[in-house]
Structures are given as structure tokens and as C-alpha cells.
Amino acid sequence: MQQISGNESAPTPATEWFWAPGLFFTFLLANSVLGIRLREGQWDNPANLIGSQLVIFCWCFLVWLIAAYAVQTNYMPRWLKLAGTLCLAAITSVVIYYLSPFEDFPLDAVPQRAWGRVLIRLVYRALLVGSLIYPVVYYLAAARRLAMEKLKVERQERALLQIRTAQLEAMVAERTAALEKTIAQLEQAQQQLAEKKSSDK
């Protein structure tokens, strides 16, 4: 049993397990507003449009990684994981927006509006994105956990079956050896009896 458990593959880190679905989902999420931006005429500045879309995608994927780490953290309650994910999503949304050389809202740029309005808009976007990402990550983590537990049970069952098979083979070998010994003793007794009869004659 120790050998089987030692061969079990260790859980992969959250960033590895959620890499492919994270890139796919956040790509769709980041480009979900692309049609609206094109209708607003933002294609007039393609460099800003492409650059800001790339920044938004990177930020969405960062939120995905934050959610993936939070979901697989065992020392926090579930509500705190969600709250922490949303808080970090809001903080990173504001920080990345102000550090980015591109403008996400070119029709309503920063100099034309109060910082409070900008903050509310960025936090609202972060809460919306975080509330969409977290359930998907949670479902994937639950499905992965269930698959790993199923695999662990199957391995334990195979190990138990191997042990029982080995015990049965040992028992059969022991019974076979005892039977062969008994047959040999019977043959020897028959031979001795035949020799005794021949000597009596």
C-alpha cells in the first residue's frame, strides 16, 4: 500500500491546472465588449483599441489566477475566498488602468471626469468580471477534486485487489505444496507396501 500511495501523482499547481481553460475563458470575456467598442467608433484609433484590449485580457487572466489560488486555499472559509478575489480584482483593475498607456474608455477619458466616477466604474467592472470568473473556477476545482478522489479510490482498490490476489496465490501455493507432499507420502507408502508383499511371498 505504501508503494502505491508513493506513486500517486501530486496535485498540479492551480496555475498549471487552470492555464488552458483560463486563457480561453478570459479571452472570450475580454473580447465580449469588443463589438460595442467598434460600434462606438473606437476603431479610428486601432493602436489604442488593440493595446487596451490586450491589457484587459491580461487583467482578466490575472483575476482568473487569483480566483484559482483562492479556490484551492484550504485555510480560508468560502465566503472569504470570494470576497478576497473580488477585492483583489478591484485593486488590480484600478492599478492596471492607471499604469496602462492605453485608454479603456476613450469616449470618456480620465481628464474629462472626476476620479470618483472613474473609481466606481473600474470597481464595478472588477466586481462583474470577478463574479463571472469565480464560479467557473470553483466548478473546475470541484470537478478536478472529484476526479482526483475517484482516481485515488481506484488506486486503493487496485492495491487491495493486488494484495488479495497475492494472498490467494500464496494460499494456493501452500495448499498445492501440502497436497504434493501428501501424494508423495502416499506413493511412498504404496511402494513400501508393495515391497513388503513381495518379500512375504
Q: In this predicted model, what pLDDT tens digit does every residue of 92-120 receive, in sequence order?
A: 999 998 888 888 776 555 555 667 788 88
Q: Average pLDDT, whole number, for the chain?
A: 80
Residues 111, 132: Cα–Cα separation, whole Å? 30
- Determine which of 12-16, 78-82, 106-110, 138-142 has the lowest per-residue pLDDT on average: 12-16
In the predicted model, what is the mean pLDDT of residues 119-128? Answer: 90
DSSP string, 92-105: HHHHHHHH-SS-S-
Q: What average pLDDT score do residues 38-50 get?
A: 82
Could you tell me the pTM of the whole model?
0.67
By the 8 A CB rule, do 102 and 42 touch? no
Helix (H) or strand (E) segment spanning residue 180: helix 115-200
Tens digits of residue pLDDT in 144-194: 878 778 888 888 888 888 888 888 888 888 888 778 888 877 877 777 777
Q: Note the pLDDT of residue 200.
A: 64
Q: CB of 90 within 8 A of CB of 135?
A: no
Residue 118 CA to residue 124 CA, distance in Å, equals 10
Give the percent of the chain with pLDDT over 70.
Answer: 84
